[in-house]
Structure 1
Amino acid sequence: MKAAAFAYARATSVANALELLAVHGEKARVLSGGQSLIPAMNLRLVAPEVIVDIGDLAELRGIVVKGDTLVMGALTRHADLLKSSDIVKCAPLLGAAAAHVAHPAIRNRGTIGGSLAQADPASELPACMLALGATIVVHGPGGERRIAAEDFFTGIYETQLAPQDLLVAIELPVARTGSAHFFQEFARRHGDYAIVGLAAQAMLQGDRFADLRLGYFAVGDKPVLAKAASKLAGATITPALLAEASDALSHELDPHEDQQATPAMRRHLARVLLARCVASLLNRPDLNIGGRS
């Protein structure tokens, strides 16, 4: 299939992009990398009347460290996460996740801002933003808004972005001494959408978690910051406590059913990932007895 007819406008600046969105409103869609929008248009899942292309806006590219904050422009590409020394030092979870995003051709074109705005519940990066405590920076008619990642994603392909808004940057706290991360997903083939995945960020204090944030994806209509992690923070981790947290996780999640998995299977895989995550972060192989399947 081919996309329905549409008008095209190339933005020359963020201000110009906002002007175009203000004029066209819900009839317009923003084009950045195009790896999600173009297939959806070709399948007639969306049919915007106007495409606002922001791909040439250099001001929205790049990764910089400002004090204790890592700032990524919305047009920074997935491939950039794999090459940036700042990502390695300040947010290594993103590099681990980016290696699982589709394939090189898509990573070379797809953008971080596009992935977050698309809000596919099976995507890796939205869950990473929950785990890392990210702030999403948005410009709109009322000026700049800063939205916590936990509040940004609202449903399947839905976010806090209004039709006249533009996602311009993402801010992350720089990883501190004692921090650790875990990323793993189950997929039928590398590069496929995940059946279940987990992005985790932890602060270790000896053999305990001073803090643990578990960002699950492909387990519902949006990424989930699991409340079950609170059972593990500050406590001596035993198999019994891990089992208690695992049970709480099962009750917390509300997975969907599709051609890949049933809700019961997704709950099981989420529990497996929890066991693997805790065992890996604490270097406790004994805790992964139930997570080897």
Structure 2
Amino acid sequence: MHPGTYEYLSAESVDHALDLLVDHPDAELLAGGHSLLPAITNEAADPDVVVDISEIDAIRGIEVTDDVVEIGAVTTYAELQDAARLRDAATAVAEAVSVIGDEQVRNRGTIGGNLAHPVRVSDLSAAIIASDATIVTVGPHSERRIAAADFFAPNPATDLAADELLTTVEIPASTGETGGAYVKQQSVTMRYSLLGVAARMTVEGDRVSAIRVAANGVTERGVGLEPVEDTLRGERLDGDTIETAASRALDGIDTEAMIDDDQASAAYRADLLPTYTEQALETAAERAGVDVPA
């Protein structure tokens, strides 16, 4: 395949990028290139203009405070993987980025590019939803703050608009009583995730005070597992409670909408989901300081 020609423009700031998008409404944004460049090579995309935002320092980097983790959109997976404070403050996200692709992919791929062009097996989608993240976007006239669960929902009102730039991901920082985890099953042949589950749990005493669980690789986009959350919230943790909660992982999911492809059937994914949900919950509980009785 031979990609066509296009005009390459490099944005110097967020405002400059927005101006370029106004001037070139059909332009494609380039950050790490792991979504756009393969699409151009395979002729799935044929832009006339490409706007490179990878050199905008204002949307690169990680800042961790007592309350929130702020991640700039062009921060690479490798930078996230190497950030020691991220592993404590946003464990599920740190674990998800550490298992994306290989070293070469992690050196170039960016969190913003991943979220702006989510693939259905994206490790980050589950981790971002389970972490209660807020995705910040900027357009010509306003800023939007979008809850991750809404951002990934198939709702045109919350999708990233053509003239918007994803600038920041904000994640509530974990406390000492909060544990997170991300676990996945990887395709042996393609190295993509077949399915992944992320969990974030806060415990007060021996009861679950807050819980978020989400999965990727189940349907076309990352999905929260609310029946699992409802089963655990307010409950004392033990092996039976976690097993019961994990058994509800498929509740509310339209089995007709589950991914069924050459890598794994919908039935196989349905079998995997409760098992990986249980693993994520057990790990999150342990990291929240709970010794879960069998």
Common topology (TM > 0.5): yes
1:67–1:274 Cα change, 3 Å: closer
Offset of residue 65 of structure 1: 2.5
Deviation track 1:41-63 (CA, whole Å, cap 9, x = no partner) reads 11111111210011111111111
Do 1:63 and 1:86's aligned partners in 2 also have CA atoms closer than 8 Å? no
- Report the counterpart of residue 245 of structure 1 in structure 2: 245
Q: What SS does the aligned partner of 2:99 have? A: coil
Q: Which runs of 5+ in 2 are unaligned?
A: none
Offset of residue 242 of structure 1: 4.6
Is 2:269 aligned against 1:266? Answer: yes
- Report the counterpart of residue 135 of structure 2 in structure 1: 136
Do 1:139 and 1:166's aligned partners in 2 also have CA atoms closer than 8 Å? yes
Offset of residue 128 of structure 1: 1.1
1:86–1:190 Cα change, 3 Å: farther
Deviation track 1:75-121 (CA, whole Å, cap 9, x = no partner) reads 11100111113213321222211111000001000111111101112
Do 1:100 and 1:191's aligned partners in 2 also have CA atoms closer than 8 Å? no
Measured in 2, the distance between the counterparts of 1:232 and 1:68 equals: 24
Measured in 1, the distance between the counterparts of 2:90 and 2:237 equals: 25
Measured in 2, the distance between the counterparts of 1:155 and 1:45 equals: 21
Offset of residue 134 of structure 1: 0.7
Measured in 1, the distance between the counterparts of 2:51 and 2:154 equals: 24
Measured in 1, the distance between the counterparts of 2:124 and 2:160 equals: 17
Offset of residue 71 of structure 1: 0.8
Offset of residue 133 of structure 1: 0.7
- Report the counterpart of residue 35 of structure 2 in structure 1: 36
Q: Tell me which of 252, 255, 259 is aligned to 1:256.
A: 259
Correspondence list, 1:40-189, <5 A? 40-155=39-154, 160-189=159-188
1:59–1:188 Cα change, 3 Å: same
Is 2:195 aligned against 1:196? Answer: yes
Offset of residue 247 of structure 1: 4.4
- Report the counterpart of residue 4 of structure 1 in structure 2: 4
Offset of residue 159 of structure 1: 6.3
Is 2:281 aligned against 1:278? Answer: yes
2:220 maps to a residue whose letter is: D
Do 1:100 and 1:190's aligned partners in 2 also have CA atoms closer than 8 Å? no
Q: What SS does the aligned partner of 2:182 have? A: strand
Measured in 1, the distance between the counterparts of 2:190 and 2:175 equals: 30
Name the Cα RMSD after superposition: 2.2
Q: What SS does the aligned partner of 1:138 have? A: strand
Measured in 2, the distance between the counterparts of 1:257 and 1:190 equals: 16
Do 1:61 and 1:76's aligned partners in 2 also have CA atoms closer than 8 Å? yes
Q: What SS does the aligned partner of 1:108 have? A: helix
Measured in 2, the distance between the counterparts of 1:250 and 1:67 equals: 35
Runs of 4+ residues deviating >4 angstroms: 237-244
Offset of residue 66 of structure 1: 4.3
Task: Give the % identical residues.
Answer: 32
Do 2:60 and 2:72's aligned partners in 1 also have CA atoms closer than 8 Å? yes
Q: What SS does the aligned partner of 2:264 have? A: coil
Measured in 1, the distance between the counterparts of 2:189 and 2:15 equals: 39
Offset of residue 144 of structure 1: 1.2
Measured in 2, the distance between the counterparts of 1:250 and 1:100 equals: 24
- Report the counterpart of residue 19 of structure 2 in structure 1: 19
Q: What SS does the aligned partner of 2:121 have? A: coil
Measured in 1, the distance between the counterparts of 2:43 and 2:129 equals: 31
Do 2:248 and 2:274's aligned partners in 1 also have CA atoms closer than 8 Å? no
Deviation track 1:215-261 (CA, whole Å, cap 9, x = no partner) reads 10010011011112211111135666555534432232232211112
Q: What SS does the aligned partner of 1:204 have? A: strand
Do 1:75 and 1:111's aligned partners in 2 also have CA atoms closer than 8 Å? yes
Do 2:74 and 2:110's aligned partners in 1 also have CA atoms closer than 8 Å? yes
Measured in 2, the distance between the counterparts of 1:247 and 1:83 equals: 35
1:200–1:190 Cα change, 3 Å: farther
1:275 maps to a residue whose letter is: E
Measured in 2, the distance between the counterparts of 1:127 and 1:278 equals: 14
Offset of residue 6 of structure 1: 1.5
Q: Which runs of 5+ in 1 are unaligned?
A: 287-293
